[in-house]
């Protein structure tokens, strides 16, 4: 029988993570199909869809006409079209925006609610998967399709995997597990995403940042030569005129910090506290630290002191 050990919602850093299965109920899978799906996404997303092979998934963004990010996503070929994984909180809004220009195109865009997204991370995750799947993705082939199952490979912060399963396949997998494995909720995956530098865009932070402000240019999530797409003019202008002054950063605070998405971060400059950035996402680690993903407005260093506006807790920039 299955033997899942509950972590009681304690979140661990990647360096301390035992073999863990994670229910990704804070993420959603969106399926785009139809004969015009490739052309349609090419005109909407920040990467060149023509260069996306079936062997790889890619980080990209969907922006509004002003070049502000609706959502960040992992995009890949899926069944008879394309699919992408994004934060569930923004999914309905983002899908509505993506559909706005589809009336004259042969394209259908739906959020799939009949699948289960599962993360697998921690010690010996690859060998664990080899007990159940014939082929496991890697650097050279970051996505594998096996019948109705799909596995995505992530390299950061340590090797981990995302499984797309039907409910029956997930229940079968649970039933067949004959060794102890930890089981945790979505915040464990969120912690790993923050560690990896993947920009988290939830509903509260949609349409507030350009792709460059959340490091998508550094993460190869923007194409500057593919032609027109929504927001492309502003994004290109920022790039070619070197106008971006913001960047994504990971911070760590000692203790449990009380904050929200959108909270302002302050920095100490000559005994004064000045706003330096804004919180994108956060998670409490082992009930002793707080990992924070933030957009900062100017360069900082490891000796700077930070705090959340309105609170006295001081924290330092995270060493990566």
Per-chain mean pLDDT for the chain? 91
CATH, domain range 247-317: 2.40.30.160
Query: What's the Cα-to-Cα distance from 179 to each of 125, 172, 182, 188, 286, rounded to whole Å?
Result: 13, 15, 10, 21, 24
| DSSP H helical ranges for 11-143 | 37-42, 88-99, 125-129
Contacts of 307 (CB under 8 A, 6+ apart): 265, 266, 268, 273, 313, 314, 315
pLDDT above 50 (res 1): no
Q: What's the confidence (pLDDT) of residue 2? A: 45
Tell me, yes or no, if the pTM score tops 0.85: yes
Residue 215 host element (H or E): none
pLDDT 10s digits, 220-266: 999 999 889 999 999 999 999 999 999 999 888 877 887 899 999 99
pLDDT at 117 over 70: yes
- The per-residue pLDDT for 119 is 97
- ω into 44 cis (within 30 of 0): no
Span 251-264, pLDDT tens digits: 888 778 878 999 99
Whether the domain at 3-196 and the domain at 247-317 fall into the same CATH topology: no
- Calpha distance 111→192 (Å, rounded): 24
Mean pLDDT of 293-304: 84
What mean pLDDT do residues 179-207 have? 94
| Euclidean distance between CA atoms 24 and 200, whole angstroms | 14
Tens-place pLDDT, residues 21-59? 999 999 999 999 999 999 999 999 999 999 999 999 999
Q: Where are the domains of the chain?
A: 3-196, 247-317
Helix%, strand%, coil% for the chain, nearest 5: 20, 35, 45
- Do 61 and 45 form a contact (C-beta atoms < 8 A)? yes
* Whether 58 contacts 41, CB under 8 Å: no
59-100 pLDDT, tens per residue?
999 999 999 999 999 999 999 999 999 999 999 999 999 999
User: Is 153 annotated as ligand-binding?
Assistant: no
Give ∠ CA 183-152-19 in degrees, rounded to 5: 25
* Percentage of the chain exceeding pLDDT 90: 74
Residue 318 pLDDT level (bands cut at 50, 70, 90): low
Rg, C-alpha atoms of the chain? 20
Residue 189 is assigned to a ligand binding site = yes
For residue range 136-191, what is the model confidence (pLDDT) as tens digits? 999 999 999 998 899 999 999 999 999 999 998 988 888 777 666 888 999 999 99
Residue 238's H or E segment, with its range, is helix 232-240
The pLDDT confidence band at residue 307, using thresholds 50, 70 and 90, is: confident
Instruction: Look at the domain 3-196 and name its fold.
Output: Alpha-Beta Plaits (3.30.70)
CB 265 within 8 A of CB 276: yes
């Amino acid at each position: 029988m299955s033997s899942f050990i509950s972590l009681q919602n304690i979140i661990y850093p990647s360096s301390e993570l035992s073999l863990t299965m994670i229910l990704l109920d804070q993420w959603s899978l969106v399926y785009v199909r139809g004969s015009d799906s490739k052309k349609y996404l090419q005109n909407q997303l920040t990467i060149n869809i023509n260069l996306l092979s079936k062997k790889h998934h890619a980080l990209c963004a969907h922006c509004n006409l002003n070049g502000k990010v609706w959502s960040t996503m992992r995009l890949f070929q899926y069944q008879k079209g394309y699919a992408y994984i994004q934060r569930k909180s923004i999914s309905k809004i983002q899908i509505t925006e993506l559909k706005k220009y589809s009336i004259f195109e042969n394209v259908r865009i739906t959020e799939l609610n009949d699948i289960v997204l599962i993360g697998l991370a921690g010690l010996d995750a690859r060998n664990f998967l080899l007990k159940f799947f014939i082929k496991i993705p890697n650097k050279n082939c970051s996505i594998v399709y096996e019948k109705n199952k799909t596995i995505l490979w992530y390299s950061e912060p340590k090797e981990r995997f995302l499984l797309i399963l039907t409910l029956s396949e997930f229940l079968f997998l649970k039933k067949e597990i004959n060794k102890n494995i930890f089981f945790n909720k979505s915040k464990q995956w969120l912690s790993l995403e923050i560690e990896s530098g993947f920009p988290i865009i939830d509903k509260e932070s949609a349409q507030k940042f350009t792709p460059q402000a959340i490091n998508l240019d550094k993460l190869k999530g923007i194409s500057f030569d593919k032609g027109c797409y929504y927001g492309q003019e502003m994004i290109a202008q920022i790039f070619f005129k070197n106008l971006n002054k913001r960047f994504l950063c990971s911070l760590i605070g000692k203790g449990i910090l009380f904050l929200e998405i959108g909270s302002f971060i302050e920095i100490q400059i000559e005994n004064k506290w000045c706003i330096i950035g804004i919180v994108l996402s956060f998670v409490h680690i082992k009930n002793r630290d707080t990992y924070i993903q933030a957009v900062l407005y100017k360069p900082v260093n490891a000796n700077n002191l930070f705090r959340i506006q309105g609170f006295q807790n001081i924290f330092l920039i995270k060493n990566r």
